[in-house]
């Protein structure tokens, strides 16, 4: 089972990197719940699609590189590096041409081969600093 969950995780991130949102969405259950909030997006399956479409629109070379994947029971923990070059609008900020690369941790619960829940932590402040949207001395209060 652990190898199956790892394979599904890699398949999801490979689909995201290829811009194949239908392929990525095929691995997410209809009743999926996202416990990580991002910019007011819905915390469901559609929100996942919107998140990755937003990232690919703002960062056409957006990619996720899996660095570690650990399986425990029905959960997969993934440490990855998200990166891209800021070419389009992102959270009200026009493209800067700057590149970002930050660490993200995802924990996904899988039932019957589909993701049903997600918890995550992304270095959003580091990303915004790299894009020039905030200074290194700013606080992270209120950022998810």
pLDDT band at 141 (very low <50, low <70, confident <90, very high): very low
Residue 136: the pLDDT is 61
The region of weakest confidence among 13-22, 46-55, 130-139 is 130-139
Q: What is the pLDDT of residues 66-85, one digit of tens each?
A: 999 999 999 999 999 999 99
CATH entry 3.10.450.50 includes domain 2-131: yes
- Strand pairing report for 99-111 and 63-72: unpaired
**Percentage with pLDDT > 90 across the chain:** 85
Q: Phi and psi of 129, rounded to 5°?
A: -65, -45
pLDDT band at 143 (very low <50, low <70, confident <90, very high): very low
Of residues 57, 62, 123, 64, the one with CA closest to residue 89: 57
- Taking CA atoms, 111 is separated from 16, 27, 89, 123, 142, in Å, by 21, 10, 36, 28, 32
Which sequence spans correspond to the domains of the chain? Answer: 2-131
Q: What is the pLDDT of residues 25-75, one digit of tens each?
A: 999 999 999 999 887 899 999 999 999 999 999 999 999 999 999 999 999
Q: Give CA torsion, residues 70, 122, 62, 64, to 10 deg.
A: -10
Residue 134: the pLDDT is 82
Determine the Cα–Cα distance for residues 50 and 6; give it in Å rounded to an integer: 24
Q: Phi and psi of 58, rounded to 5°?
A: -80, -30
């Amino acid at each position: 089972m652990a190898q199956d969950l790892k394979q599904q995780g890699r398949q999801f991130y490979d689909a995201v990197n290829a811009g194949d949102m239908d392929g990525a969405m095929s691995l997410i259950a209809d009743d999926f719940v996202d416990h990580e909030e991002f910019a007011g997006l819905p915390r469901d399956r559609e929100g996942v699609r919107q998140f990755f479409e937003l990232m690919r629109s703002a960062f056409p070379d957006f990619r996720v590189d899996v660095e570690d994947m650990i399986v425990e029971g029905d959960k997969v923990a993934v440490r990855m590096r998200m990166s891209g070059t800021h070419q389009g609008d992102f959270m009200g900020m026009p493209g800067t041409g700057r590149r970002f690369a930050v660490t993200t941790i995802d924990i996904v619960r899988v039932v019957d081969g589909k993701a049903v829940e997600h918890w995550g932590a992304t270095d959003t402040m580091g990303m915004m600093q790299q894009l020039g949207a905030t200074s290194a001395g700013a606080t992270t209060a209120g950022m998810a």
